[in-house]
Amino acid sequence: MLCRRNRDGSRATQAGRLQVLRQVADELKALGFGQMGARSLKPKHVDTLAQQWQAEGLAAGTRKNRMAALRWWAEKVGKPAVIARDNTVYGIEARDFVAKGSKAIEVTQEALARIEDPHIRLALRLQAAFGLRREEALKFRVSYADQGDYIRLRGSWCKGGRPRTVPVRTPRQRSLLAEVRRVAGDGSLIPGSLRYIDQLQRFKFATSKAGLSKSHGLRHHYAQWLFRRQAGWAAPAAGGPVLQQLTPAQRVIHRRVRLQISAELGHGRESITMVYLGR
């Protein structure tokens, strides 16, 4: 009921949050906290869950995401104080955002040829050309997005419900937008007879079969391409110099470009670019 009344973020964000909170409810019941209502959340529940997750050996990122769902719950019922703001209180260490080698991948013509659905092929190409997330690419409507020298993304397409814009920099990007318009018209890359979740499953199956199951790596490749284009040298994850090797003038460019890339990828902080670019 709480999730149905509060539809913050994209549908994928809402679905992920609902899944986490259902799991939390089951865990609390198994831990001896039965008959809980939406306003029953107390510090003891949060402490017990945090201890249980740590005992299970869950990754810091997983525990952090679950704590975010708990904070959302607490906020919506007017009890934000039941959860500490600092995750270290619960033994959740800060996540290491430094890339362990490059995760960038490129989409080849051979791989695209193995995908029969033209909508899925175009979604992959949008990911590669503009650094889009999978959901953003599938929901992309060129009739709304194409603004000439940039594309705009609706908040409902994006993680966290955060709209953004991405510049159109190359003739290849412009040509791709024209091709998307020819195939999808005024619609998205989800055929009219299908729901998003249906096309998502078809996307997962098709990309796995074509050897492109880790399509998020296309965002890594885009970020590294954009870094080289804007900074003038390769990112550390792509073999370029690390921060300590840069001159003071280069460090100014380095930070400016990273902030730009963070914004274009839909993130709000420079530190997240270490995942894509290294340090």
Shared domain for 125 and 203, answered yes or no, is yes
Q: In whole angstroms, give the CA distance from residue 44 to residue 17.
A: 21
Shared domain for 195 and 226, answered yes or no, is no
Report pLDDT for 147. 97
- Closest to 86 (Cα-Cα) out of 72, 67, 69: 67
* End-of-domain residue from the set 177, 209, 241: 209
Report pLDDT for 55. 78
Question: Burial letters for 179-205: b for 16+ Cβ neighbours within 10 Å, e otherwise?
Answer: ebeeebeeebbbeeeeebeebbebbee
Report pLDDT for 57. 79
Q: Which domain holds residue 261?
A: 219-277
Say which amino acid occupies 262.
S
Report pLDDT for 219. 94
Shared domain for 230 and 202, answered yes or no, is no
Q: Is residue 98 part of a domain?
A: no
Q: For the chain, what is the domain count?
A: 3
Report pLDDT for 78. 92
* 250 dihedral zone (left: phi>0; alpha: psi -120 to 50; beta): alpha
Mind giving me the DSSP string for 141-194? -HHHHB-SSEEEE-GGGSGGG--EEEE--SHHHHHHHHHHHHHHTTS-SS-TTS
Estimate to the nearest angstrom the gap between the alpha carbon of 58 and the chain centroid. 20
Shared domain for 82 and 12, answered yes or no, is yes
Q: Per residue of the chain (279 residues), what is the pLDDT tens digit?
A: 566 666 777 777 888 888 889 998 889 888 888 888 888 899 999 999 988 888 787 878 888 989 999 999 999 999 999 999 888 888 887 665 555 678 899 989 999 999 999 999 999 999 999 999 999 999 999 999 999 999 999 999 998 889 999 999 999 999 999 999 999 999 999 998 999 999 999 999 999 999 888 888 999 999 999 999 999 999 999 999 999 999 999 999 999 999 999 999 998 788 889 889 988
Report pLDDT for 16. 84
Shared domain for 164 and 247, answered yes or no, is no
Q: Is residue 102 part of a domain?
A: no
Report pLDDT for 8. 75
Q: Is residue 37 part of a domain?
A: yes
* End-of-domain residue from the set 209, 229, 260: 209
Cβ neighbour number for residue 43 with a 10 Å cutoff: 12
Q: DSSP H helical segments within the chain, as ranges?
A: 2-5, 11-30, 43-55, 60-76, 109-113, 118-130, 134-139, 142-145, 171-184, 196-209, 217-231, 248-264, 273-277
Report pLDDT for 44. 92
Q: Is residue 84 part of a domain?
A: yes
Report pLDDT for 1. 56
Q: Is residue 247 part of a domain?
A: yes
Q: Is residue 108 part of a domain?
A: no
Shared domain for 126 and 170, answered yes or no, is yes
